[in-house]
Amino acid sequence: MPLSRGVFNSHFSSIIKYMNGLKREGIVQKTIICLLLAIYFFIDRRPVLIEGGLSMDELLSWTYAVNGFESFFDRWLNSSHQPMFYIILTIWNKVLGNPNDYWIRLVPLGFALIALVLYSLFSIRKNGLFLGILLSLFFIFEPLTSGLSVFLRPYSMIFCLIMANLLFLTEFKNKKLFELSVVLLLFTHTLGLIYLCILFVSLLISGFDIKGMIKEYYYLVILSLLTIALVLYQGSQEAVNLNWVGRDFSSFHLNLNIFWFFLACSGFLYKSIKKKGEERLFFVIPLVGICVFFIIDFFVMPFFVGRHFIILYPAGFLFISLGVKELIGFKYTPVLMMIIILFFKAVNGKPRTEVEQGELNYKTLFLKLKESEEISSSKRTLCLYNKSYKGLLKPYSIMYFGFDFCHTHLEVDTDNLKEAENYEYIALLDYDNVKNLKLSSNIIFRDEKGYLKIFKNDKLK
Q: Answer yes or no: is 4 within a domain.
A: no
Strand 452-455's sheet: what is its strand order? 408-411, 381-385, 425-428, 442-446, 452-455
Least trusted range by pLDDT, from 196-200, 362-366, 449-453: 449-453
Residue 50: predicted pLDDT: 87
| Residue among 108, 137, 136 at smallest CA distance from 122 | 136
- Please check whether residues 151 and 68 belong to one and the same domain: yes
Among the ranges given (62-66, 357-361, 412-416), the one the predictor scored with the smallest mean pLDDT: 357-361
Return the pLDDT at 157: 97
- When pLDDT is averaged across residues 160-183 and rounded to a whole number, the result is 93
| Pair 315, 416 in one domain | no
Rounded mean pLDDT, 42-47: 92
Boundary (domain end) residue, out of 348, 372, 387: 348
- Could you tell me if residue 356 is inside a domain? no
Are 157 and 286 found together in one domain?
yes
Cα-Cα end-to-end distance for the chain: 68
Number of domains forming the structure of the chain:
2
Q: Are residues 85 and 179 in the same domain?
A: yes
Q: For residues 52 and 140, state if they share a domain.
A: yes
pLDDT tops 80 at residue 191: yes
**Higher local confidence (pLDDT), 453 or 217:** 217
- Provide the pairing of β-strand 442-446 with 452-455: antiparallel
Is pLDDT at 453 greater than 60 in this prediction? no
The answer to whether 122 touches 30, Cβ cutoff 8 Å, is no
Which of 348, 376, 405 terminates a domain? The answer is 348
The domain boundary, picked from 296, 321, 348, lies at 348
Residue 7 in any domain: the answer is: no
Residue 219 has pLDDT above 70, yes or no: yes
Question: pTM of this prediction?
Answer: 0.84
Q: Do 368 and 282 fall within a single domain?
A: no
Residue 424 lies inside a defined structural domain of this protein: yes
Q: pLDDT class for 250, splitting at 50, 70, 90?
A: very low
> What average pLDDT does the segment 226-236 reach?
71
Task: Considering only residues 103 and 248, tell me which one the structure prediction assigns the higher pLDDT.
Answer: 103
DSSP-assigned beta bridge partners for residue 452: 446
pLDDT in tens, 304-354: 777 888 999 999 888 888 877 666 566 666 777 777 777 666 666 454 444
Tell me the residue range of the domain where 93 lies.
Answer: 13-348
pLDDT of residue 13: 59
Segment among 167-181, 378-392, 422-436 with least mean pLDDT? 422-436
Q: Is residue 5 part of a domain?
A: no
More reliable by pLDDT, 26 or 321: 321
Mean pLDDT to the nearest integer, 108-130: 93
Same domain, 127 and 249: yes
Query: Quick one: 249 and 310 in the same domain?
Result: yes
> Quick one: DSSP state of residue 382?
E
d(CA 69, CA 82): 14
Mean pLDDT, the chain, as a whole number? Answer: 76
Residues 259 and 371 in one domain: no
- Whether 450 and 322 map to the same domain: the answer is no
**Percent above pLDDT 90 for the chain:** 23
164-168, 206-210, 264-268, 392-396: least confident range: 264-268
Regarding whether 296 and 406 lie in a shared domain, the answer is no
Highest mean pLDDT among 74-83, 85-94, 278-287: 85-94
Nearest-10 crossing angle of helices 106-127, 84-96? 120
Q: How far apart are CA 296 and CA 301, in angstroms?
A: 6
Report the candidate in 167, 174, 233, 221 with the shortest Cα–Cα distance to residue 197.
221
Residues 92 and 154 both lie in one domain: yes
Partnered with residue 382 across adjacent β-strands are 408, 426
Inside any domain, residue 460: no
Q: What is the CA radius of gyration of the chain?
A: 24
Q: Is 1 contained in some domain?
A: no
Residue 6 domain-assigned (yes or no): no
Read off the DSSP letter of residue 246: -
Between CA 64 and CA 89 the distance in angstroms is 8
